[in-house]
Structures are given as structure tokens and as C-alpha cells.
Amino acid sequence: MSTFAARFRQYNDKHQLFRHSDRLLVAVSGGVDSVVLAHLLHAEEYEFAVAHVNYQLRGDDSAGDARFVEKMARSLDAGFHGIAVDVGANRKSGESTQMVARRIRYNYFDKLLDEYKYDVLITAHHLDDQLETMMINFIRGTGLRGVAGMMPDQHGVCRPLLSHERREIVEYARANSLTWREDSSNASDNYLRNRVRHQLSPLLRELGLTAGALRSTSDHLLTARQLYEDQLSAINRTTVVVNNGGIKIDLTHLLKGNYAETFLYEYLRPRDFTAEQVRQLLAGAEGSSLESANHRARKKGGVITVISVPGNTPVLESLEITRLPFSFQTRQGQFTIQLTERPASLVAENIQYLTSRILPDAAAGATPPSLHLRPRKNGDRLQPLGMGGKSKKVQDLLTDLKIPREDREQLYLLVDEADIVLAIPGVMITELAKVTPDDRTVLKIILTKNGQV
């Protein structure tokens, strides 16, 4: 037991997943993996609540799972959140039962994180799950992201048991006299994951795959994935231009190195374009275009232009502020950031003033390469002006301000080169960016709505 817990602590510290000061939300199905995770967090004296989704797919057994999880949560002095859903009624065209369940599950978890102000969502994915995920992605066809599997911390979801084998988890449960629920559907081979679990994974182990080798391979692949994504970001800065007319992607130099298809796919994938669409676009005639659910991409020479399809919510692009003044557009209106002399009054409607000390050599009129605008991410924190330097989660702040969920996704954060939040344009600034009596120049953010400041 001590070795199991020690490795849990070591993995959490290595990847800086969560702290004792965080409020945790733990996804618990009632199976042995999530039951052990909940008990381990309790033993390690973390504050957490349990979330359970009853899909009502197994009748009385599903209802029994929900009752079991709620009782367990109470026994651990943990909060409990549960919901029963009709999977069939929520199914969209082309979705399998597993896809519907996953979408419902994570939408519910996101709602709980938002409403109850939890800091981190934790799941009980383990090393065997990692192998299954890697193999499934490989079978279906994938790139580096897919074959690398799940990350310890991905989009605000933390997986502290990712280095533990399921065998170890069961041993921990038995050593601590824990009880859990068995899902009869796990014995079926109707799903690809179950076939990989029951047939392929045992064969790989029979052929010599060890837990140590799998951990090492997974670590190497995750490191390679990070390097890959860092390089994509570097290419993005020199290749992509975002303005009010849309997005322009200049692939000229990438075409020479045969990198264009890879980069374009990675860029367009979050906008619901498929790999086949990207291939068709690159191979198509001059002026050809393709559409996804939310965007339209058009080819002209070595440049791809991407625009949002009217009536759909656009995806915010990260922007580098290369010179001042700098303008950008959001649902709120058009923002302009400029350097100006400090006014007599710092209070004005639709205008924010920030200290020019956040710019390098601002008085000399230097450009501000250290400033960026980006969408918010799970876990973002800031120090609101007037709170004496106390830190607060951006998510909690926006909830407290009663900003609608759909509007929150269309807000930019102004950050420095260390990714520290300096302001939310149109909403608030932070202690780090407040104007001081010594400031002769200030950074001015102007919001223009329908042509009016």
C-alpha cells in the first residue's frame, strides 16, 4: 500500500497535477479503478467531491451503481453529484453509444466544474487504459498525438493513476478491503476497446511487453508529442496571419519541405476539417474550397484562407502583438491597444488603462513582442485589481460576474511571455498591470461597439 501511494505522490509531483489547496472533482463510475482513486485521495487528505453519471443502460444494475457511489462518497466525507440520462434521446447522427456517453459525461463534468468552482477534474485512467488507447488509435489510423495516448494533464483533466497497472489497483483494493461494482458490459467483445483489452493486450504481454517498457515508451512518446506541438507553435507564428477578414495560412515554404499537409491538418483539425478534406484542398484546383460544420477554407496559390461560416461560433485564435497600435475583433466588438500618455483620469467607459511597465522599453517606443492574446484555458488564474494580490481562477471570476457561458468562450486574455494573465480586455485588469503614480505612459485598450466607443 505504501509503495502504491508513494508512486501516486511521485507521479503527481512530477507532472504537477494538483495540490492539497485545490478543490477536486473526481469522476467515479463505481468500478475498482475509480473507487481506489477516491479512497486514495481521502487517505492523502485531499478535499474532493464525487461525480457520477447513470446512463440507465443496464436497468437495475445502473441504478445500483449510482446508489453505491453516493453511499461511498458520503462515507468518505466527500460531496456527491449525480445525474441520470437517456442516452438514446441524446444521440446525434452517426454517434455510437460510447460516443454519446462520453459527450454527456464530460459536458456534465464541465458544468459541475463551472457551477461549483472546482479546480481540477480527476479520472482513474491507468496504464492498461493507456495501452488500449494507444492501440485503438493505431488501429484506426493516427499521428503522433494518437499513438502517444493520454497525457497526465490534458484540457484540465488529470490522470494521477496513469503509471499504475490495473493489477496493482485491484491489489490495493483487496489489501484495503474495498468493495466495488462490476459492469457486466465490460465482459462483452461488442466494443473495440473490450476486444483490445481481452485479446490484443494479453497477446502483447505474452510476446514480452512489460509495464516498465510501456511506461518508458509512453514517456518518450509524450515528450516527442510536446516537442512536436512546440514546433507547430513556432511554425504557426511565421505562417498564420489572423485579421478581421479571417485567417490566412501561407504554406509556400512548407510545400518545399513536404510539411504543408501535416501542418494544415493540425491547424484545421480543431475546426472540424478531416484529414481527407485537407488532402483534397491541397490537391484541388486554384480557387477550390471546402467546408466543415463551422468554417470554410479556400485555396489560392500557396495561401489557404479560412473564415467562419455565418451563424456559427468562431474559434478564437491566439494572437501575438507585434506592434502598437494593435486591433482585434471579438463578439464584444473591436478592440484597439495603443501606447499613450497617461490621462488625468483613468476612469472611462469602454476603456482600460494598464501600466506601460509591462512593455519592454515602452518609453522608447519599442514593439511589445512579449505580449499575446489567447483564449482562456482550464486552470487559468489572475490577481484581480483591488483584491490585494489575491489569486482567483478566471473561470470563477467570470461566473461571479454572471457572464454567460457562451460569451466566456469568446473572451481573450492578455498575457505576457511567461503566460501570466495581465487583463481580460473589456472585463478587467489585474494587480500586475495596474497604473502607478510613476507611470508617464500607459497602455490603453479601447472597445468599440457598433462604431461607438
pLDDT of residue 245: 63
Mean pLDDT, range 303-316, rounded to an integer? 74
Whether residue 345 is annotated as binding a ligand: the answer is: no
Amino acid 152: pLDDT: 93
SS3 content of the chain, % helix, strand, coil (to 5): 40, 20, 35
Which three cell numbers, joined as nine digits, stand for 312? Answer: 456559427
Most confidently modeled range among 95-99, 121-125, 268-272, 305-309: 121-125
Residue 359 confidence (pLDDT) above 80: no
The residue-averaged pLDDT of 9-18 equals 93
Could you tell me the three cell numbers for 438? 510613476
Tell me, what's the pLDDT at 451? 44
Nine-digit cell string for 51: 461525480
Cell digits of residue 176: 484495503
181, 65 in Cβ contact below 8 A?
yes
* pLDDT at res. 346: 86
* 44 or 360: which leads in pLDDT: 44
Q: Is 380 annotated as a binding residue?
A: no
Average pLDDT estimate for 235-240: 87
Rounded CA Rg of the chain: 25
pLDDT digits (tens, 9 = 90+) for 408-428: 778 999 988 778 899 999 999
30 annotated as a binding-site residue:
yes
* Cβ atoms of 8 and 45 closer than 8 Å: no
pLDDT at 90: 83
**Residue 165 is inside which H or E element, if any?**
none
Q: Which residue has the higher pLDDT, 358 or 131?
A: 131
Express as a percent the part of the chain with pLDDT over 70: 93
Identify whether 160 is preceded by a cis peptide bond (ω within 30 of 0).
no
Supply the pLDDT for residue 32: 97
pLDDT of residue 206 exceeding 50: yes
Q: Is 170 assigned to a binding site?
A: no
Mean pLDDT, to the nearest integer, of 64-88?
A: 95
pLDDT at 452 over 60: no
pLDDT of amino acid 313: 59
State yes or no: 33 annotated in a binding site. yes
Q: Quick one: average pLDDT of 8-28?
A: 94
Q: Is 59 annotated as a binding residue?
A: no
Q: Is the pLDDT of residue 364 over 60?
A: no
pLDDT given for residue 75 in this prediction: 97
Residue of 164, 157, 128 whose CA lies nearest to 37: 164
Q: Which residue has the cell 474550397?
A: 289
Q: What is the pLDDT of residues 105-143, one digit of tens each?
A: 998 998 998 889 898 999 999 999 999 999 999 998 888
Angstrom distances, CA of residue 110 to CA of 51, 103, 256 = 11, 11, 43
Higher per-residue pLDDT: 119 or 190: 119
Domains and CATH numbers, the chain: 2-221 (3.40.50.620), 244-308 (no CATH), 319-448 (3.50.40.10)
Q: What percent of the chain has pLDDT over 90?
A: 42
pLDDT at 198 (0 to 100): 93
